[in-house]
Every structure is written in structure tokens, then in C-alpha cells.
Homo-oligomer: A and B are copies of this chain.
Amino acid sequence: MSKKSFRQAINEALRQEMRRDPRVILMGEDVAGGQGGSSGVTDAWGGVLGVTKGLYTEFGPERVLDTPITEASYIGAAAGAAATGLRPVAELMFVDFVGCCLDQIMNQAAKFRYMFGGKARTPLVIRAMYGAGFNAAAQHSQALYPIFTHIPGLKVVVPSSPYEAKGLLIEAIRDDDPVIFLENKVMYDDEEEVPDEAYTIPFGEANLTREGNDVTLVAFGRMVGFANEAADRLAKDGISCTVIDPRTTSPLDSATILDCVADTGRLVIVDESSPRCNMATDVAALVAEEAFDALKAPIRRVTPPHTPVPFATVLEKLYLPDVGRIEAAVRSVMGYKARQEA
């Protein structure tokens, strides 16, 4: 156990799994860096934000493959390699680039097993950065996990901390289905205690980071931290929240969400993805259908507005959900009085 950053946690997960299983390989743009450069230095970058640094040096060019800037072909290659005996971890860099390779994910990797009558196994992990807060503007700041969640055949992981990231990534690599693993780029320097040895966190099992009686908060990825902060602040005013980190959006731990709502009767969902057809709507619909009885107040969603991500810091701050907005949403459901009662 030692303090590790989100970046280190992911690096360690990759390293340990690559040591454990020679079929695990890495590919992506500059996951090593320096191929064809004039200095002869390889492993020059280890990914655009240094997450895979050192892996090329340890595992060599056969297992850490730099690619040309051609997402469709190398993500497809990862799918093809996965279907034929390797266990590739392909890095898409920014998840926003999925528009360049969605077909290979959506129509190929995700559907092989079903279309082929159960005869395929595609142990593929696609890692990508998501999220706003980096002034990276509209084409480098999206969340997009709702799109992957929508697609049957994919599993989708949105880790909320270094500990979660390591365990979930190891699970993803050992999983036999295609997994989309999304890393919030703003969190790479976040630190916490993380075990040194390999461990897994199962998919589809939510984590309760706070337990309370008044309101259930469901939050994803970086928003889990915000929700916890809001819960801590609210606790000072005697409002007690349960905070659920579903960890994976597909599969989704519906049972835990429904149980918690059954207890609290109030639900606020915090989702940093665009508001239409997103995880906030997904969870709201689940609860409005299956825990309707328990609901004492409207289900509130805290999300960005239906706009691209703006560049300027002031606007980006307004764009993203924040602790204050979460608090306000919780207070509004606590203060809710049904019309008939009022």
C-alpha cells in the first residue's frame, strides 16, 4: 500500500497484467513515443500525458506498439487481435476521437459474439481520456460514455479514484468482452492509498462511498468526488446522503441503486456527460419505473447544459456540474412538498 496517483495506478495495473500474461499488449499513438525520431530515444512520451511511461522499456516494441495516427485501423486491429488470441489494450488518447473509429467498436468488436452465435471472444480494452476542465475545448473534452453504454456488447467503466482505477483496469484486462475504460484527464494527479499488489474490482457492483437516509446521490467518474464533497457539506446541516459510485455504466448495478432509493426516497444523479440520453436519464428512468413507490420527490439531474464544451475557463466552469449545484439539487429535493400535500 502506498500513495499513488491515478496515472500511476493505471500504469501499475498495465504493468502487472503485462507481466502476468504475455498475451496482453498495448497499442496506440505514442504509447511509447520516439519511433523514427532523430535522437534514438524511445519510450519518449509514454502516452500524451505520460500514463504508459516505462512500459515500452520493460516490454519492448513487440508488446508496446506505437501506431500511425489512424484510429480506425488500429482499434480495428486491436479487435481483430483480441478475436485471435491476444488481449490488447488499445489507447484512443481522447475519447472524442471515437468518431474516427466507432464502426470497429460498435459494429465489429461489440457484435462479434452475438452475430457469430456465441463463437467469438473479444477480450479487448480500449482506454481513453474523457472530461472537461482542461481548457481543451469542444473536441477534446467530451464524456461520451452514454454512447458506449447505449451499445449492446460493450462494457463501460468510469473509475472515480486511483484505487478504483487500478482494480477496475485489471478486471477489464482479464475480462473476455470488449471494455471501454474511461479516464478523466483532470484526475491523473489525484492521489490516494493504493495496494501495490494486483487486485480486481468486479464489474456491475456499485460502491457506496457514503451512506445516509435522506437522499441517494448517484454519480459517475470524477463526479463521485464532487458528490462526496456535497454530501459532507450537507451533513453539516443534518442532511444525510448515500453516494453511489456505480463504477461501470454497463453493466449497471441497478439493484443497489433501487435499494438505496427504497431507503431514502429521494434521488439526485450527477453526470458530466451531455444531458440528453445520458446516464442521468438512464438511472432516472430505471428508478421511475422500478422504485416508483419509494419516491418522495422528483428525480433531479445535475448535468452540463446541451452545448458543446466551451474553451474559456469561465465558461467551462459554468458548463461542468460542481459541488454547489449538487448541494442545491439535494436541498431542492429535501425541500420538496408534493402539490397535494402543500
Using a CB–CB cutoff of 8 Å, the interface residues on chain A facing chain B are 72, 96-107, 110-111, 114-115, 137-139, 146-147, 149-153, 249-250, 252, 273-274, 276-282, 284-290, 292-293, 295, 297-301, 306-308, 310-311, 338-340
Contact = CB atoms under 8 A, between A and B. Distances in A.
A307 B150 CA distance: 10
Contacts of A340: 293
Contacts of A288: 284-285, 287-288, 295, 298-299
Contacts of A281: 277, 281-282, 284-286
A310 B114 contact: yes
Contacts of A293: 298, 338-340
A250 B147 CA distance: 16
Contact of A102 (B98, B152, B280): B98
Top 3 A-B residue pairs of the complex, sorted by shortest distance between their CB atoms: A99-B103, A284-B285, A292-B298
A110 B249 CA distance: 26
A290 B282 CA distance: 16
Nearest to A71: B103
22 contacts: A72-B100, A96-B107, A98-B102, A99-B101, A99-B106, A102-B102, A110-B308, A111-B138, A114-B138, A114-B310, A115-B311, A152-B308, A277-B277, A277-B279, A277-B281, A280-B285, A281-B282, A281-B286, A285-B301, A289-B298, A289-B301, A290-B298
